Structures are given as structure tokens and as C-alpha cells.
Amino acid sequence: MSDETSDDPGPVSRVYRTVTPGYRGHDDPGMNAVGWAILLGLMVMFAPLLPFIVIVWLISKVVDALTPGNHL
């Protein structure tokens, strides 16, 4: 490695103008509807799996309660 000190350029001191106008967010009802439709579709698709998820969760809780060990 070199013992020379590196010149840190520091923060930008010059600002460039641009012709692009700034972007301000806006509501997009069409995309909101698409998002809600995807969420609803996922809920309908995963709803039949919910009983199996609950059963696995309950079995894990019972096994944790029956096995000796550090319980927090």
C-alpha cells in the first residue's frame, strides 16, 4: 500500500440544471385494482391450505410442550 494521502473530492459543489421536470407521485386506481385482485386471488388460492398450516402449527406447539428443554 502507498503512504500517499488520497485527495477526497468531498461533496459535489456544482449543481447541474436539467430539463426533466420533477416527478410527483399520484394515485393510480387501475394499478390499485390490479393489486387488490392479485391479493384476493392469492387468498382464495391459499385458503384451502389454511387447515393444514394450523394442524402443523398445533403439532409443533404440542411437541414443544412435551419435550424437556429450555422454554422461554
Q: Please give the full DSSP string across 34-54, using - where no structure is assigned.
A: HHHHHHHHHHHHHGGGHHHHH
Percent of the chain at pLDDT above 90?
A: 47
Report residue 21's pLDDT band, with 50, 70 and 90 as the boundaries. Answer: confident
Query: What is the pTM (predicted TM-score) of this model?
Result: 0.45
How confident is the model at residue 4, as a pLDDT? 56
How confident is the model at residue 27, as a pLDDT? 87
pLDDT > 70? residue 72: no
Over range 18-36, report the average pLDDT: 86
pLDDT > 90? residue 54: yes
